[in-house]
Amino acid sequence: MIQTIVTFLIVAIVSWLIGFTSLAFAAAEIARYVFYISIVLFVGSVAFYLMKKPTNKM
C-alpha cells in the first residue's frame, strides 16, 4: 500500500508542476484515502494480535 501512496503522490506533484490542477488534486485525494485505509488496517491487525490468547508450548 505504501507503494500506491508514493505513486499517487508522485503523480500529484508532476501534475501540479505541469499545470493539471484537477488531476493533481484527484491523485492527492486518492493517496490520502489509501494512507488512511492502510493506517486503519495496521491498527486493526495490531489490535487482533494483542487480543490473541497466548499459547503454552511447554
pLDDT digits (tens, 9 = 90+) for 6-28: 888 888 888 878 887 787 788 88
Question: What are the structural domain ranges in the chain?
Answer: 2-51
* Residue 52 pLDDT: 84
What is the crossing angle of helices 2-18 and 21-51, to 10°?
A: 160
* Residue 3 pLDDT: 83
Q: How far apart are CA 45 and CA 37, in angstroms?
A: 12
Is 35 within 8 Å of 5 (Cβ atoms)?
A: yes
Mapping DSSP onto H, E and C, the string for the chain reads: CHHHHHHHHHHHHHHHHHCCHHHHHHHHHHHHHHHHHHHHHHHHHHHHHHHCCCCCCC
Q: Which residue has the higher pLDDT, 56 or 34?
A: 34
* Cell representation of residue 32: 490520502
